[in-house]
Each structure stands twice: as structure tokens, then as C-alpha cells.
Amino acid sequence: MTRVVGRPTPHESARLHVTGQARYTDDLPLPPGALHGWPVTSPHAHARVVAIAVSEATTIPGVVTILTREDVPGENNSGPLRHDEPLFLGAGDVATYHGQAIAWVLGTSVEAARQGAGRVVVTYEKLDAILDPADAIRLGSVHTDPQWIRRGDVDVELVGAGEAGHAIVSGEFRMGAQDHFPLETHVSVALADEDGRMMVHSSTQHPSETQAIVAHALGLSLNDVVVQCVRMGGGFGGKETQANAWAAVAAIGAWKTGRAVKVRLDRDRHMILTGKRHPFLARYRVVVSRSGDLCGLDLELYADGGWSLDLSDAVLGRAMFHADNGYFFPVMRVRGQVLKTHKTSQTAFRGFGGPQGVAVAEEIIDCAARAIGMDPHDVRTRNLYRGSGETNTTHYGQEIGDNRLAIIWEGVQDSGEFVSRREAIRAANDLGGGMRRGIAVTPVKFGISFTTTFLNQAGALVLIYSDGSVQVNHGGTEMGQGLQVKMAQVAAEVLGVPLASIRMMPTRTDKVPNTSATAASSGSDLNGGAVRDACLTLRGRLAPVAAQLLTAHGAPAVHADDVDFGDGQVSVRSRPDQRVAFASVVRAAYLARVGLSSTGYYRTPGIWFDKASGRGKPFHYYACGAAIAEVEVDGFTGQMRVLRVDILHDVGSSLNPLVDTGQVEGGFIQGMGWVTMEEVVWGIDGRLLTHAPSTYKIPASTDVPGDWRVTLLPRAAQPGVIYGSKAVGEPPLMLGLCVREAIRDAVASFAPRGSHPERVGLALPATGEAILDAIDAVRG
Amino acid sequence: MGLTRGSNPNRTRRASNRFQRCGRCGRCGAQSSTGTSSYWTKVFGRCGVTSASFLLNGVRVELEGTDPHVTLLDLVRERGLTGTKEGCAEGDCGACTVVVRETTHPVQGSALPSAYRAINGCLALAAQLPGAEVWTVEGVVDTGHGAVRAETELHPVQEAIASTGGSQCGFCTPGFVMTMFASYYSPLVADAQSPDPGGEVLAGNLCRCTGYRALRAVATLTSGAGSVDRSEGTDRFARCLQDPVVGAVTAGLGSAVVAYRPSTLAESIARRASEPGLRVIAGATDVGVEITRGFRRYQGILSLDAIRDPIFSNCSRAEGSITIGAGVTMTALEDFLRDGGAPLAGHMLPWFASRQIRNRATVGGNLMTASPIGDMSPVWLAHGAVALIGGRSGIREVRVSDFFTGYRQTAVGADELLIALRVDDDVVPRGGRRVAFVRKVARRNRVDISTVAAAFMVVLDGNERVVSARFAYGGVAATPLRAIGAEDALIGAVWRNGDSHVADARARLGSAFAPLSDHRGSASYRQRLITGLFDACLAETATGSDR
Ligand SMILES: Cc1cc2nc3c(=O)[nH]c(=O)nc-3n(C[C@H](O)[C@H](O)[C@H](O)COP(=O)(O)OP(=O)(O)OC[C@H]3O[C@@H](n4cnc5c(N)ncnc54)[C@H](O)[C@@H]3O)c2cc1C
Ligand code: FES
Ligand code: FES
């Protein structure tokens, strides 16, 4: 029987993508009379609204109405957890970031609405803004109380370090924000139903939450609102919560006017109004032995949450879980807190705090190693999680179990000729000159599951029609990650039908209720479990029907347990040539009045976490990988080129190697972008200065390594996960960190001949300017 | 993976109506006897009748009454062709990429009269459309019934992208398809000969999902460096390349906002003088952004892209100098300079914007923006180029070093137009040599605005002594500038590290400018780049120095 899972199957919409036929929310035909929204935004990062005058705006031809606070029939809020995100501001309310929407103008064209917005006069009383995380710490501007994770007593370790002959290395480290930059910006279209209920098309990663926010804003029940997402033009976490507000505004507009309302943020509005990857500030003290063993770490992590809480507490939590990356710290204390600043509300972004945690770990390793005069590479190798028991247990008490770090670490260095290349690079750099090369390997260990345990559940609804064709619904959304093709593969595999018999349906809240966001890399684990469950139920109903059909006249009865589903046929296991078409079985089942639709459900087993004690098993398993980067740095200008990258990554027994390789590649480049060229800059007045691709640079085709070798770890089936596969969405992003470490290696070579710099400070992102700064610092 | 044309899906469709008579005037009798007619010929013939319409995927679209500010992107999307996407509306992401079939540059003989070129739909204005032949992703595969079915045969470029994992979310994909479609039929030597052909072809298309590996592999094949069977065969797009393009039609749009598109320089200058409120556009890659992102609207538009005066539209070569028309696109210039001349320009052009932008952006438009961070200005300054400015009383010459009169201001008067640039070769003494150095420092290597750009031209005699030097920078002051003090200090110096004149020149460079801080870089970084680029130049070009 041909297996459907595990094959390198192209994205299920690939043909639609290349022909331009794939429809996104912005491409949906609008009904006649549809309106478009444009926001009136705050020109101050922090200011009290004194008054709003809308009358002038209504004089613009095409302006139909202006939505203000008073138009909200339900709750004027889109905060997903804490209700701290007003959709509209009125007199007396306080704007808390530059660009915050105060009101929305609806017009018959985008142009009319935009012009109208320019005529709404809002007067403000300016207030002091807090923009820098250090200021927020100093002023106690926070969203949350601190969270803690502790292993052993780090104070004892710090006090005893001197006596033990260990070094204490301390430092402060900042990481910049990152814009998701999905090519598709946020779009929502709301259409009021005949009875005032609402249909919303939204580019959202979390239709159920969008549904809830819309319902609350309208004062409706959840069953009054249907949200659909066909597909997104990229999400990366940026559409997990950040799509909700625009859907709510569109719905309020549709409610008020009775006309369809589309809210599409243009690129600048998208970047100015919506949250990004959290900038972090870390302060650390690490105890390291003279031979390079990590003895203890005292770490404070501050996530710059921006103006509202959003998901920041969970993002911070994941950063705290990942501050060890792949390294064993026998004693560790992590304190984390979310800061409140007058900037966009930072949000989920591929890795969800994990990258910041991992970056801190790599920063600490590098600084600790150089301080004691060791090669950071040796310190990495020495301190990887290993063995079993304590040395293979994280700081929050989870046993890593089947630890593949060592195999991957060795494997990538062997295939990537790390040692010989490093020698050659050292020798070349020793000759001096303005161009230097650097090389580094970094590992990644990433925990898979939502750390908020209850979110780890999923539902599906599978429908078989009487001709044997199948529709599959589940709660996950497609944003390019290939979830739909994987789910189609799972359904086809279980039902034993060709992929072509499966149609994946748009994600809708009226098909599967109460879904979790498509996030945390969990899409195929969770929804795959649910789709499989539904298909197994249906197969269980079809098997007896098939058995009956397969029982030859007069022969002993074929038992339902003895039939196989595969290749569009159902066959007798012991006599595979005795078979009947799947469609015939379905037809017979229909005539025999057997139900041909079923829901499916899945929840991840065995995970828990106790936030108060900071201990538990928050993750179902870990996904690991490692990457080597070789770079060339220009000592005259700080410019940098990535020459070669080798990646070895564990995706378990891949459901779809074509899709998974694409995830690894795309994730790597996105991570590389974060640590190199992508710099989000806010002005001193809190204005976002980098709000379009002209000023905010994501990697282009010419930035990818000329020599790029990506391998998926072979023979890596993961027990207890759908077909032995592993989550792949987020982990590879952190592989990009090796580029920063390779740059640091090159920078170190600029130190005066024969000396080893005790510290190579390099900003994140390591832009050309940051690299030149670092070179100048080590040149002395 | 390879691209084969063997089974192109488009081979027969529409063949039946290929012999149709011109639908415009019915007089010239244009029809194709060879069966290789373009749709343009089919509909309009070659009678030159003006019409405010253009061809979109072979279908005529009326522009009568269209506001000249409207972009091609909006025009096609409003018509339900939503395959072309908006990712930024400022020319930076390529999601809006469409293809135009244009006349092959007159500057260099090409075997074929026309070529497919990728452009940004978000910056092409309705004012520039009459007479154009535009292809969007929907036109690439002719399904006949509007939907792509399982059995629909895709174009080889589409098939290669779809089957190798070249699309994830798919939002960028139509743009990539169109960029590669253009290079598949009309590859550019500049791309094919670059060290990274696949990367170069795609530099104007951003993809946030894939990491580009699969896409680069396909583009390497289409770039001209790969092996693609480009024989015409049955491919309707390849066949069309044999047909001349009618090209820009000098039609107004008949909208409330006037749009002029004269075919001669004299008429353009006269119009500019008589209606000073008009906004002049050439490639509109700069003005387009003012319209789409700055939301600017003008009283009227005067488009120079239909002018066919050789001095304005072509490049020419004479003994010891070249002349570059202000209306010449960067792509055409790149092509022209492959035969020599203005080496600094040739070196800078690959770093200039993207292919889509270079296909439209003109040499004149670039200089006229007087942008302090424009990349070609330092090049022309270092070449000591001369600007030819045309007014009603004729042409006057102004050195580029006197051209920028203030922040975003030029010596071109309100009733004048920039006509051309002349670059005279630097005379090199016997046994001497010329040092030509160009570097653009930006956050990203391609399609980015300079933090600092530098162009240096140094002439050395046989003893490596500096005979003349021009050091020009962008990004360091309110206008692109030369470092005259440093240049003077260099005269007579021996071109190597350690020479005291060289050290003096370097010191003068260090204090020549007072650059500003912005989001692209701090003043301190720019200051260090000013001298750093001098050091880099010296390290690269002085004999016996180690890099
Ligand atoms: C994505 C993107 C990337 C870019 N990258 C770069 C880059 O790397 N380097 C760089 O230098 N620039 C860059 N630019 C800026 C711009 O594309 C160039 O300056 C371009 O050369 C302008 O030429 P154009 O023909 O499109 O000018 P237009 O936009 O048509 O016109 C620009 C200005 O010149 C005037 N003008 C045009 N022609 C004449 C004439 N003959 N006489 C008098 N006035 C005239 C117009 O009135 C207008 O004020 C980029 C732009 C974009 C959108
Ligand atoms: S929409 Fe981004 S380049 Fe045109
Ligand atoms: S596939 Fe999503 S942006 Fe390219």
C-alpha cells in the first residue's frame, strides 16, 4: 500500500499560488455598497484625548460615517487576556502609543476614508512617555508581577565562587524587536447577516478568539458570530491576537451601517499599529569554572511588552524556559517581568520568547568563555545537556528524555567540516587584512506544547460524501506552513484514499468550535491528532460495511478487523487482491444508513506546569537542531556576508519532507534577519521610524548563503506524536543565531595580534554599524 | 530540475483569431501574415493611432476618464485580477510585479525587437499606460474557464516553483512568477554574468516564508545562466518577441486631472513652461512613491516616457566620451555600459534598487530627485560629468558638481528639463592607470537606501603618483558632495598607505563633512564610513597593499 504521509508532497495550494488563483481575504469580492475603514491615529506616544471633532470629515465626498467609542454596542476592548486594549478612545481616555487608533472613518473607498480621517480633529494633552526598558524598570512601569524559576541556590553559588576558584561574569544584554512582515497585511471583512448576526472574514491565526472579541464588542453570544479564514499570506504569530481589533472594528462598522465593511491595514498602518517580537533586556551573573563548566546562573529577563499586556506573560515564560537553550546549568535562578512602555503591544512571533531566551544563553556562553580565555565553542560542547538524570534535566525540572543534542551537535560538525574550516579561517585571519571570516555552531532545543496547558487541545470535523469524496475541517489555520497538506495527508492515510479525494476546507468557527490559535508550532501535532481521530471513527464505521461487501457468496464472513484501507480501496488483509473501491463502500454505507461524518478530538497527554513553584513538565517533547555559519566581515565598513550554512535539524519522522525542509529554511532566514539586519527603530518621541520595507529590511534573495546545506535528522521517529513526526514551525528560527556568533568570531580576529579579547560585545541585531562598533572595540 | 518548453499549455489557444484585422482604424490593414502577431498588432495595427487604452493579458482596457494617478496595481485588482498583490505600495516588495512587453533598448542591438520586463505594478501610473502591453499572472496560463484545475498545464516557471516548494503562504508567489517569467523569455546579460544570477534576478521580490532556496534555484535557470530551451516552438510568448511593440501612445486620459505625454522634447519643454503646476514624471519610481505612500495628488502630470528624441532617449558613444539620455532607464544603461565607458556607473548599477525599479527608473529622474542619498549622483560627480539642460532657448551645460544647489534642489529651472549627461573619459598618462572605486554601504546588500555611498576616481601616472582625484559621497550632507579639500591634498601623492599626502587627504576626509544621525545609521558610523571607504579603496587598489 502506498503511504501518503512522509512523502514530499507540494503545498496543497501550490498550483493556486503560482497561477494567482489562491484567494486571500483582500481578494474576496465585496457586495455592493461595501465600505472601507481608515483609522484616526494618535500623533503622540502618551496623551490624554481632550476632544474629538468629526464634523469636517463628513464633508468629504464618499465618507459615510465615523466610528467612535459611542458606536460600540458591547465592550470597547480587544484585549485577549487582560481587557486593556480599548478599540476606540473618547474624550478623557488616554492614548498609550504613537499610532494608536482613536476613531475609524468609513467611506465608499479607501481614499475617501483616508481623506476623512485626515479631517477628524482630535485635541490632546501630552503626557510623558516611557520608551526605554531601562527607564521602565527604574520607574516601576510593569504589566505583571515577577515570575520565577529556580534550581538550587544561586546565591550560595555566587558567594562560594571565589573560594572555588570560579569566575563570575556579569553583563547586561539587549535584544531588538522584530516585525513579522507577513507579505499580506491585516485584513478583515465583516458582513451583517439578515438578523444582525455577523459573518467575518479575517486573516487571523486564531478564528475562535477573533470570534470572541467580535462577539464581545457587539454584545452578542459566540454562536452569533462566524469567523472564516481561508488562508493567510503569512502570519508568524503576528496574526495570533493582532488580527482581532480590525475584525472588531469592521464588525462594529457593519453593525452600525448594515453594509459590508472592510478594514485592511496598508503596510505602514500595519507596522505602526501592530505588535512585534518583544525587545528584551537581560541582566546576568554567571559562575563558570576555569575549565569552562557552567556552575550557576542568576538571570533577570525583562520583556518590553509595550502598551498592553497581550500575550507577553506567556512570551516571557517561554523565554525563561529557554534561557538554558541546550546547556546544563546545575544552579539557576531566572526572574522575569513584563515591562510597560508606550510602544506597540509586542506579541507572539515565531518562537514566542524562545529566541530571546536562547539568544541570552548564547550571549552568556560567549561572554563567560572569553572571560576565562576559552574558545566559546569548547564551552558550548562541554555544557550540552547529556546523560540522564540531573544533567539531562532542565531548570524547571523536566527530564529531556530522548536527548538528541549530542548526535546533532557531532553530526553537523562532521558533515559541515567544522574543524578543518575553522583551522583554515584562523590561518587566513592571522594574515591580517580588512576582510575576516568567522565560523560558529549553535544548538537549539525547543520545547513543544503551549505552556498554558489547556490550550493543547484540538477538534476536527470530517465529512464523507456518498461518492467517496471527503471534506476535512479542523481548527488550524493555513498561513503557508503547509498545515493543510499535512492534514490532507493524515486524512488520506487513515482513510486509505488518494490525496486527490480529500478537500481541505477553509477554517471556520461554525465547523469546529473553541479552537486554540494555530501557534506554538503545534498545528499539525494537535489538529493532526484530531483529524486522525475523526477519520478513525469513520473508518471504524466503514470497516463492517466493507467486510460485508468483501465476504464472497457462501464463503466465511470477513471480519471488520481484517480489512485494510489503502490506495482508494478496502481489501482483505490476508488476500489483498480481494478488494472493493472505497467509494463503493461509502455508497453501501450510505444506503445502509451509516453516518458519514464525524468530529475528532485530541489533547496532548501528560503535560503540566505549576507556575507558583516554577516546576513541571510543560512540554510534550523537545525539537532540536544545530547550525554552522561561516561569514565574512568587512573591517572597513562592518558589512557582512554569509558564505556557507550547514543545518541538521530534527523533525522526527517527517510528515512531509518538502514542507518541513521549507520550514527549516524559512525559519533560519527569519532568525538570521532578526539577529543581523532587521532593526526596529523608535524615535525619541515614540514614533516608529521603520514602518515600511524601504526602512525595515528583511532578508532578500541575495542575503541567503551561497552554499547552504540543510539535512533533516534521519531515523528520528518521535513516539506519541502523529505518525512519529515533530513540530517544525518555530524551532529552526533559532538556528539563525549561529550567524551572530560567527560574526562575533570574525570580529574577535580584529584584536591586536596574539591577544584574545576578554569580551566581544555585539549588538542584536548585528547591523553593519553594530559590527563596526564591535570591531572598533576589540581593536582597542 | 530543468525547465522545458516541450509541453507548453499555451500553444494553440487563440490561434483561431490571430489573423484578425486591426480593430482601431481599420485603415492600415495590419494583420499578421506569419501568424506571429502580437495582440497589440491584432487590436490596433501599426497605424500609430492614439488611444487611451492598453492591453491587459491580450485584452484591450479603456483608460478614458481614468485619473492619471491611479496605479496599474489598483487598475488590475479592480478588474478582479487579484493575483497581483499589494505588499507595500512603494516598490520594495515585488508582490505587485507584472510584466510589460517593450521595445528592446535602442542603445544596443538585440536580435529581437521586443522584450518582456518585470515592473512594479504599484508604481506604474495610469498616465504611463496608453499603448502598453501588460501581462499579469492570470495571463500566464490560459485556463479558458477561469479556474485552475488539476489537469491544467502550468507554465514551466509556474510548474517549477509549485513542485519544488517555492511557495509557502503564496502571497509573494505571483510576483516571483512574473519576475521569472520576464527573465525566462528575456534574460539580461547583467544577471546571467553576475556571481549570483538567481539571487540577482529575484532581488526585487521579498518572500518572508521560504528563505528563497527553491526560488533561487528556479531563477538561476531562467536568468540566462541556466540551461533553458528558449527556442520559440509553440510558445505564444516567445513568438510575440518577434513582433515590434507599438509602445507609448501620446494620449491624454480625458480625466479631470490632466495628463500630457508628448512625443518630442520641444513639446515637453513648451508644456512645462506653459503649465508650471504639472508634475513631471519619467519612470515614476520616485513620484509613484509620493503618490502611493505620501498620498500626494497633482494638478496634472507631464510624462516624459513617450519622448523619442535620441539625445533624451538613447545613449551614444563618441571618441573619449559617452552621452547618456536623461530618459534612459537604468537597465538600458547597464546594457550600454557593458561595452565600456563610465566604469563607476557600471559598478554601481547592480547595487541600485531592484530589476523591477531599474527597468523603469531613469538616469534623469534619479539626478533630478537631488536626493542626498541617491546612488548615481556620487558616480556622476566622481566622473566629473556634465549635465545638459534643455529650455526654450536651447541646451546649456552645467557640471554635475554645480548641479545640486541645495537640499533636493537643482540647477534645472522651472521651465527646463534635464536632457542628458555627458561623461568624458579621464586622460591617463602613458604607463599610468585609473583607479575606479564604488561602494554602497546599506543595511542590506540589495534594494536598500545607502547609509553612505562613495565613488572615487583617481588617475595615477606611471610612478603611481596621483594626477587627479575626485572623491564623491552620498549620505553625508544635504546634497551629494565631493571632498575637494581631500582631492587637492592628494595631487602628487604616491597612491599607497603610508604616503604623507595620502595620510593628509585621509585626515581632511575625516573633517570634510558633518553627517547626521537617522534610523539608517548614526553620525559616528557615517563619519567612520567616510574614512573607512577611503581605506578600503586604498587597500583594494594600491599596489602591494594587503587587503
Ligand atoms: C524600491 C525603490 C528602490 C530605490 N532604490 C534606489 C537606489 O538604490 N538608489 C537610488 O539612487 N535611488 C533609488 N530609488 C529612487 C528612484 O527610483 C530613483 O531615484 C530613480 O532613478 C528615479 O527615476 P525616475 O525616472 O523613476 O524618476 P521619476 O519618479 O519619474 O521622477 C523623479 C523626479 O525627477 C523629475 N524628473 C524626471 N525626469 C526629469 C527630466 N528629464 N527633467 C527634469 N525633471 C525630471 C520628476 O519631476 C521628479 O521630481 C529607489 C526607489 C524605489 C521605489
Ligand atoms: S506592492 Fe510592494 S513593490 Fe509593489
Ligand atoms: S511564500 Fe509567503 S511570502 Fe513568500
Residue range B401-456, pLDDT digits in tens = 999 999 999 999 999 999 999 999 999 999 999 999 999 999 999 999 999 999 99
Angstrom distance (rounded) from CA A315 to CA A205:
17
Q: Mean pLDDT score of chain A, rounded to an integer? A: 97
* Average pLDDT for A515-529: 94
Question: pLDDT tens across B140-157, in order?
Answer: 997 665 677 778 899 999
A701 has a chain B CB within 8 A of its CB? yes
* Average pLDDT for A732-743: 98
Cell of A54: 468629526
Q: Is A437 helix (H, G, I), strand (E, B) or coil?
A: strand
Q: Taking the domains of chain A in order of start, what are their residue ranges?
A: 14-21+457-603, 32-128+179-273, 130-173+280-383, 407-448+620-780
Which is the closest atom of ligand 3 to the Cα of B169? 2
| Contact indicator for A572, A641 with CB cutoff of 8 Å | no
Asked if residue B218 has pLDDT above 90, the reply is yes
Q: Does the Cβ of B418 fall within 6 Å of ligand 1?
A: yes
pLDDT band at B45 (very low <50, low <70, confident <90, very high): very low
CATH 3.10.20.30 residue spans of chain B: 15-240
In 3D space, the residue among A629, A669, A623 whose CA is nearest the CA of residue A650 turns out to be: A623
With a CB cutoff of 8 Å and minimum separation 6, the contacts of A55 are: none
**Buried b vs exposed e over A369-387: b needs ≥16 C-beta within 10 Å?**
bbbbebebbebbbbbbbee
Architecture of the domain delimited by A14-21+457-603: 2-Layer Sandwich (3.30)
Name the DSSP letter for residue A556: P
Q: Which residue of B has its CA nearest to A13?
A: B170
Distance B371 CA to ligand 1 centre (A): 9
Asked if residue B389 has pLDDT above 60, the reply is yes
| Contact indicator for B333, B313 with CB cutoff of 8 Å | no
- Taking an 8 Å cut-off on Cβ atoms, the answer to whether A24 and B161 are in contact is no
Asked if residue A512 has pLDDT above 70, the reply is yes
- Taking an 8 Å cut-off on Cβ atoms, the answer to whether A698 and B216 are in contact is no
pLDDT band at A97 (very low <50, low <70, confident <90, very high): very high
On whether ipTM exceeds 0.85, the answer is: yes
* Average pLDDT for A49-57: 98
Cell of A37: 475603514
Instruction: For the full predicted model, state whether its pTM sits above 0.90.
Output: yes
In 3D space, the residue among B125, B32, B138 whose CA is nearest the CA of residue B83 turns out to be: B138
Q: Which residue of A has its CA nearest to B545?
A: A433
Q: Does the Cβ of B361 fall within 6 Å of ligand 1?
A: yes
Listed range (A274-278, A467-471, B30-34, B67-71) with the worst mean pLDDT: B30-34
Q: Which residue of A has its CA nearest to B164?
A: A10
pLDDT band at B247 (very low <50, low <70, confident <90, very high): confident
Cell of A450: 503551549
Of the listed ligands, the closest to the CA of A701 is 3
CATH 3.30.43.10 residue spans of chain B: 258-303
**To which CATH superfamily is domain B433-541 assigned?**
CO dehydrogenase flavoprotein, C-terminal domain (3.30.390.50)
The count of C-alpha atoms lying within 13 angstroms of the C-alpha of A663, restricted to the half-sphere facing its C-beta, is 33
Distance A644 CA to ligand 1 centre (A): 36
- Taking an 8 Å cut-off on Cβ atoms, the answer to whether B210 and A665 are in contact is yes
pLDDT above 90 coverage of chain A, percent: 98
Q: Which of A493, A730, A741, A769 is catalytic?
A: A730
CATH 3.30.465.10 residue spans of chain B: 310-424
Question: Residues 317 to 356 of A: which have CB under 8 A from any B CB?
Answer: none
pLDDT at B38: 40
Angstrom distance (rounded) from CA B40 to CA B23:
10
Candidates A15, A480, A693; nearest CB to B88: A693
Looking at the domain covering B258-303, what would its CATH class be? alpha beta
Question: pLDDT tens across B282-304, in order?
Answer: 999 999 999 999 999 999 999 99
Q: Do domains A130-173+280-383 and A407-448+620-780 have the same CATH topology?
A: yes
Angstrom distance (rounded) from CA B349 to CA B508:
29
Amino acid symbol at A115: Q
Ligand 2-lining residues (CB < 6 angstroms): B 86-89, 91-96, 120, 122
pLDDT at A52: 98
Distance B291 CA to ligand 1 centre (A): 13
pLDDT at B143: 65
Angstrom distance (rounded) from CA B244 to CA B231:
18
Question: pLDDT tens across B133-192, in order?
Answer: 999 999 999 766 567 777 889 999 999 999 999 999 999 999 999 999 999 999 999 999
Strands, sheet with A707-712, edge to edge from the N-terminal-most edge strand = A435-448, A621-634, A640-649, A707-712
pLDDT at A16: 96
Q: What are phi and psi of A70, to 5 degrees?
A: -70, -15
For chains A and B, count residue pairs whose Cβ atoms are closer than 8 Å.
267
Neighbours of B87 (CB within 10 A): 26
With a CB cutoff of 8 Å and minimum separation 6, the contacts of B498 are: none
Looking at the domain covering A407-448+620-780, what would its CATH class be? alpha beta
Cell of A542: 466503514
Of B96, B178, B360, the one to substitute when testing ligand 2's pocket (max ligand atoms within 8 A of C-beta) is B96
**Chain A interface test: which of B151, B213, B517, B547 (most A C-beta within 10 Å):** B213
Contacts of B198 in chain A (CB under 8 A): 701
- Candidates 1.10.150.240, 3.30.43.10, 3.40.980.10, 3.30.365.10; correct CATH number of A32-128+179-273? 3.30.365.10
Candidates A11, A500, A694; nearest CB to B92: A694
Question: pLDDT tens across B462-513, in order?
Answer: 999 999 999 999 999 999 999 999 999 999 999 999 999 999 999 999 999 9
Chain B: nearest CA to A545, how far in angstroms? 31
- Candidates 3.30.200.20, 3.40.228.10, 3.10.20.30, 3.40.50.1370; correct CATH number of B15-240? 3.10.20.30
Which whole-number Å values give the CA distances from A610 to A154, A333, A494, in the listed order? 21, 16, 37
CATH 3.30.390.50 residue spans of chain B: 433-541
Question: pLDDT tens across A477-493, in order?
Answer: 999 999 999 999 999 99
Residue B341: left if φ>0, alpha if ψ -120 to 50, beta else—which one?
left
Which is the closest atom of ligand 1 to the Cα of B362? 25
Q: Which residues pair with B281 in a beta bridge?
A: B303
Asked if residue A684 has pLDDT above 90, the reply is yes
CATH code for the domain defined by A130-173+280-383: 3.30.365.10
CA dihedral (B39, B42, B48, B49) positive or negative: negative
Q: Is A730 in the active site? A: yes
CATH code for the domain defined by B310-424: 3.30.465.10
Question: Residues 659 to 688 of A: which have CB under 8 A from any B CB?
Answer: 659, 661-662, 665-670, 677, 679, 681
* Average pLDDT for B240-253: 82
Angstrom distance (rounded) from CA A491 to CA A506:
16
- Taking an 8 Å cut-off on Cβ atoms, the answer to whether A183 and B207 are in contact is yes
Find where cell 502611493 sits.
B292
Distance B98 CA to ligand 3 centre (A): 17
With a CB cutoff of 8 Å and minimum separation 6, the contacts of B411 are: B387, B389, B398, B402, B403, B404, B405
pLDDT at B110: 60
pLDDT above 70 coverage of chain A, percent: 100
For B269-310, the DSSP string reads HHHHHH-TTEEEESS-TTHHHHHHTS----SEEEE-TT---H
pLDDT at B36: 36
* Average pLDDT for A719-741: 97
The count of C-alpha atoms lying within 13 angstroms of the C-alpha of A541, restricted to the half-sphere facing its C-beta, is 19
Angstrom distance (rounded) from CA A349 to CA B452:
32
pLDDT at B144: 61
Angstrom distance (rounded) from CA A303 to CA A311:
11
pLDDT band at A194 (very low <50, low <70, confident <90, very high): confident
Find where cell 511588552 sits.
A305
**Chain B interface test: which of A7, A268, A636 (most B C-beta within 10 Å):** A636
With a CB cutoff of 8 Å and minimum separation 6, the contacts of A518 are: A205, A206, A235, A475, A476, A477, A479, A483
Of the listed ligands, the closest to the CA of B167 is 3
Helix or strand (DSSP H, E) at A248: helix A244-257
Burial class of residue B510, CB neighbours in 10 A (0-12, 13-18, 19+): middle
Which whole-number Å values give the CA distances from B34 to A304, A614, B31, B37, in the listed order? 68, 80, 9, 7
